[in-house]
Amino acid sequence: MDDLLPTPASRDPRAMLQQIRRQWQAAEDLWVFGYASLIWRPEFHADEHRPALVRGWHRALRMRSRINRGTPEQPGLVFALMPGGSCRGMVYRVARERADVELERLWAREMITGVYDPRWLPCQTPQGRVMALAFTLSRRSPSYTGRLSDDELIQILRMARGQFGSTLEYLCETARCLEERGMTDHELRRLVGLARQHRLI
């Protein structure tokens, strides 16, 4: 979830929502893939949740946050789903009777500025494959930071705080929730270790 810049007309969130609705079979339940804060603060009602694996995408702390986890003067970071690798997270099923209402709520949270590229991704779960809505980020996005040095990351983890708390708190909560579910993310674990090494936690 983030809140960056005015939305260009070409990335109008309502138009993007209509496109997602056209692609979604409204006679079916809605599935949503969560890889960070959607795991520990989904803010929509799901009828079922399962652990899931997405191939071809990975979780990366490379998206600027100027309101929720930082400020315009001291931008923070949030996780994004980026091309390449794989990602373990959770999928949430919303019964079709309520799916459209819950999709509106989810859109208001994630797509207020149209920063993400929402897409349907195949997710492997213990009960089989489902197609789930996921919020991905393009490397062409102005919100994408590119690779940051450890010194840059430490500075952000030390200083960045927004309306929902600090980048450090966001990182630690995501790490805690994944660990509780037995999901290993080596880069996330490294980042928490880096914060601990610098006595931030």
Residues with catalytic roles: 110
Q: Structure tokens of 83?
A: 């091309």
Task: Decide if 171 contacts 192 (C-beta within 8 A).
Answer: yes
Instruction: Tally DSSP H helices, then E strands, for the chain.
Output: 6, 7
Going through 8-141 in order, the beta strands assigned E by DSSP cover: 30-34, 48-65, 76-94, 117-125, 128-136
Residue from 129, 123, 148, 111 nearest 7 by CA: 111
Q: In whole angstroms, what is the distance from residue 33 CA to residue 91 CA?
A: 4
Q: In whole angstroms, what is the distance from residue 193 CA to residue 196 CA?
A: 5
Helix (H) or strand (E) holding 165: strand 165-166
Q: In whole angstroms, what is the distance from residue 116 CA to residue 77 CA?
A: 15
188, 194, 199, 201: CA torsion to nearest 10: 0
